[in-house]
Structure 1
């Protein structure tokens, strides 16, 4: 499979502040080219956190080209290509912002995220951060995390591993695989929702969420948030958007355990420490409690 892996580093909180870009080109499953650019960011300032992460000093960027000055060199690597990044929403967000800032005309390319691809190959990992996956999935591979080129190459190596694990060799095969899994997951989800609804219809008065305030956080696997809230309402519970002293259940969807806990989880934990009767449960436990009467 042919693709390009990229990684941006930013100088400050502005998405347009790209200060480094790493790019790795893969052809027929082999890395054939590596490119790296240091970029004079806009706005021209270095944030404390960003510097702490990637160690790039503002003085090292004074004489570097701005993004619009490298665009003609970069464009052929991206246009009409499959472009992959780890946590793609960040990198493509930076690309979009910096192009808007310099009035660069959009180009066509296929965007993919190596986190999403990794979730297809490896289920229920404790974390899907780049360093976590590289350590657990790539034997004897080490890299300088948050160096743009090193991260781009690690992303490329991880994607090649995913393709090997899943026996996929083209973008079309990936899209078909994703579509097939989505249909299976949707079918499972629909069966679960139907089961829960039928249980409520049969013996809703015994449901433990009845007359209780319930809050949801994170991405739910089996429900759209509104569906879950509708279930709570249907049995006489009270769905709420925010944690308060009245909250009895916080239902937590999927989230990366290596990332910072959501504000709702932190608030619920604090209330529990203060003696309030708030329970933090996962979505599967929510389903089991909803179906307790079956």
Structure 2
């Protein structure tokens, strides 16, 4: 199978038009058709059906396009790593992280990494736990810094920080805004803003479990996966949101001019752990270099 045929098919699957796809690929339509025919012949499967009006992928074509994108992405990544290594950059890293990691893990670790490997290429991506773990699985990320120990097969992990408190976050007009703490039992009947569980399972479960321990079933009035968007919601409505104590302190909740206030949750206090995660099958030597630096600055 010719790798160029995969790339051409991906473009065709995106455009669903031979003329536009051929233009993007800088080739003629007959040449693109010939490549598609060779690809289908090598697979012994029809990937595309076309009429005089439209082009459509078959069911096998849809599935093949998804996996072809992954293959091409990995090939491009391998090329980038090889070129970086040849240029003396000792590889490259794509690192996912959350707010807590940005404050308590990355500064010292990246400083050490820069000392040890000054030419290594590092890209940073702030994401919630779910998308980060998805990135490790599809290999768009090399390292994930996430809440909760992952349960997915094929992953390695290391505990970095344990029992990080989760706080309630309210707007300045909320009755809780002047309080230093609230019991979890007081969440009963309070309209809450909560993210979807798949975005951060460990934090979601910790919040729900702490409420349940107090006999409370949370009233979720609105769902929001964006911390910035959540802050705007609670500034306008008397809702209760949740955040790590690190985020609350880091963005200045409760300080002069801030639109929101962090309030400690007690009896019980929900907590979450921070983990470093990577694939046990990774072939990127830069991952081991990063893990070593984390261990060095943690001791």
Shared fold (TM-score, shorter chain, > 0.5): no
Larger radius of gyration: 2
Structure with bigger RCO (C-alpha 8 Å, 6+ apart): 2
TM-score scaled to structure 1, two decimals?
Answer: 0.32
**Bigger share in strand:** 2
